């Protein structure tokens, strides 16, 4: 029986319950010290694996995939975004790719909302002030931020997460605007009382807060380019819980430094784990270490999805969360 278990290489530590179940079901090779694998370690992994379970910290590029053994048939990624995987090469090599959509929507939307509140209300600055020991007590004009209620929120990417952000934001009195490749269903637009902007440029120029909720694809790389960022009014805030690559981070950092934008809340960065030094120095920026979906409930649900995708695939069926279906 045991020899029929597929060899599954898991590149990072996953919640105990998930790893234990994987050990029961598969010939699972776990990463016990949780180090981020180097390209050469990934190459070693794909030479023998039948299934690879990578995360956002692994670059599964053509160089890695070209070294994959004949047995590698499935990449069951732990996460929704698949921009760390060269999907074209995977397809060409007959490797199916799956992800874990849906189960981290609410957690990521919560974190987005937390940043939408934290930046204009100077939450992190206030916290730093207390810890510094420099707080001398209340004053009518200290730590003044900006009101959220009644402002305009422009959502870039009205998919699952963008929609979940919009629902929360309405409870905080924000009016919803969005830009998306396609206009959403009229019923959803009516529920959210949302205004659709076909032109991203037009929307950016009119918003108080921008939330980036689109995936990173070749089409969205630097979607918020230096030129587009300049369209934002100087009192605008920008929040990103999607992927750093969607914003030109250097251009944003320069604008923050020059006071050309009111502030930013960033959970993701263009060159993680590196962060632009200008952003690190800015007071009006809240920086988080890519923790938008970091709840134990979410991680277990993601792991469950990975297991279901692998199990369905090795049992000869079509896995539910296919991003790439192999051509042969
Ligand atoms: C995950 C994410 O933590 O799922 C995604 O796309 O960005 C994160 O929330 C990470 O990607 C897991 O690999």
Q: Which atom of ligand 1 is nearest to the CA of 243?
A: 7
Among 32, 33, 25, smallest CA distance to 51 is for 25
DSSP structure class, residue 38:
P
Yes or no: say if 252 and 228 are a contact pair by the CB < 8 Å rule.
no
CB atoms within 10 A of CB 280: 10
> SS3 for 16?
helix
C-alpha 199/C-alpha 186 separation (Å) is 18
Is 185 among the residues known to form the active site? no
CA of 152 to the centre of ligand 1 (A): 28
Yes or no: say if 121 and 178 are a contact pair by the CB < 8 Å rule.
no
CA of 130 to the centre of ligand 1 (A): 32
User: Rounded to 5, what percent of the chain is helix, strand, coil?
Assistant: 35, 15, 45
Give the pLDDT score at 219: 95
Both tokens of 71, joined, read: 């047995």
C-alpha 257/C-alpha 252 separation (Å) is 9
Q: Which atom of ligand 1 is nearest to the CA of 79?
A: 4
Q: Domains in the chain, ordered, with CATH?
A: 7-102+295-314 (3.40.50.720), 105-287 (3.40.50.720)
**328 residues of the chain, pLDDT tens digit each:** 445 899 999 999 999 999 999 999 999 999 999 999 999 999 999 999 999 999 999 999 999 999 999 999 999 999 999 999 999 999 999 999 999 999 999 999 999 999 999 999 999 999 999 999 999 999 999 999 999 999 999 999 999 999 999 999 999 999 999 999 999 999 999 999 999 999 999 999 999 999 999 999 999 999 999 999 999 999 999 999 999 999 999 999 999 999 999 999 999 999 999 999 999 999 999 999 999 999 999 999 999 999 999 999 999 999 999 997 665 4
- Its sign, for the CA torsion 242, 245, 308, 38, is negative
Q: Could you report the per-residue pLDDT of 184-215, keeping only the tens digit for each?
A: 999 999 999 999 999 999 999 999 999 999 99
**Catalytic residue, candidates 243, 245, 249, 270:** 243
CA of 206 to the centre of ligand 1 (A): 30
Which residues, 6+ apart, have CB-to-CB distance to 100 below 8 Å? 77, 78, 79, 80, 301, 302, 305, 306, 309, 321
pTM, entire model: 0.95
Is 290 among the residues known to form the active site? yes
Yes or no: say if 214 and 240 are a contact pair by the CB < 8 Å rule.
no
- Ligand 1 pocket: which of 31, 85, 104, 105 to mutate (most atoms <8 Å of CB)? 104
CA of 3 to the centre of ligand 1 (A): 32
Which residues, 6+ apart, have CB-to-CB distance to 59 below 8 Å? 39, 42, 84
Q: Which residues line ligand 1 (CB under 6 A)?
A: 55-56, 78-81, 104, 292-293
Is 19 among the residues known to form the active site? no
DSSP string, 66-118: TT--TT--EEE-SSS--TTB-HHHHHHTT-EEE---STTHHHHHHHHHHHHHH
Q: Could you report the per-residue pLDDT of 232-279, keeping only the tens digit for each?
A: 999 999 999 999 999 999 999 999 999 999 999 999 999 999 999 999
């Amino acid at each position: 029986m045991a020899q029929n278990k597929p060899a599954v290489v898991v590149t990072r530590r996953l919640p105990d319950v998930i790893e234990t179940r994987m050990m029961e079901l598969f010939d699972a090779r776990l990463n016990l010290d949780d180090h981020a694998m180097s390209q050469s370690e990934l190459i070693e992994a794909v030479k023998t694996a039948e299934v690879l379970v990578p995360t956002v910290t692994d670059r599964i590029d053509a160089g890695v995939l070209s070294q994959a053994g004949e047995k590698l048939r499935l990449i069951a990624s732990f996460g929704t975004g698949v921009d760390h995987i060269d999907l074209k090469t995977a397809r060409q090599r007959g490797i199916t790719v799956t992800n874990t959509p849906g189960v981290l929507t609410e957690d990521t939307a919560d974190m987005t909302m937390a940043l939408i509140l934290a930046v204009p209300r100077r939450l992190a600055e206030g916290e730093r002030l207390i810890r510094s020991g420099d707080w001398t007590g209340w004053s009518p004009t200290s730590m003044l931020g900006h009101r959220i209620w009644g402002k305009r929120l422009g959502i870039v990417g009205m998919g699952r997460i963008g929609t979940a952000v919009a629902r929360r934001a309405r409870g905080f009195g924000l009016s919803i605007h969005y830009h998306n490749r396609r206009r959403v269903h009229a019923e959803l637009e009516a529920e959210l009382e949302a205004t659709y902007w076909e032109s991203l440029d037009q929307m950016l120029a009119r918003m108080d807060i921008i939330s980036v909720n689109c995936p990173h694809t070749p089409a969205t790389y630097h979607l918020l380019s230096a030129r587009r960022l300049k369209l934002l009014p100087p009192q605008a805030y920008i929040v990103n819980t999607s992927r750093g690559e969607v914003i030109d981070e250097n251009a944003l950092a320069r604008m923050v430094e020059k006071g050309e934008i009111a502030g930013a809340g960033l959970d993701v960065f263009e060159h993680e784990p590196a962060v632009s030094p200008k952003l690190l120095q800015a007071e009006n920026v809240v920086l988080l270490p890519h923790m938008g979906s970091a709840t134990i409930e979410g991680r277990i649900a993601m792991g469950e999805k990975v297991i279901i995708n692998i199990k369905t695939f090795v049992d000869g069926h079509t896995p539910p969360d296919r991003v790439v279906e192999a051509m042969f």
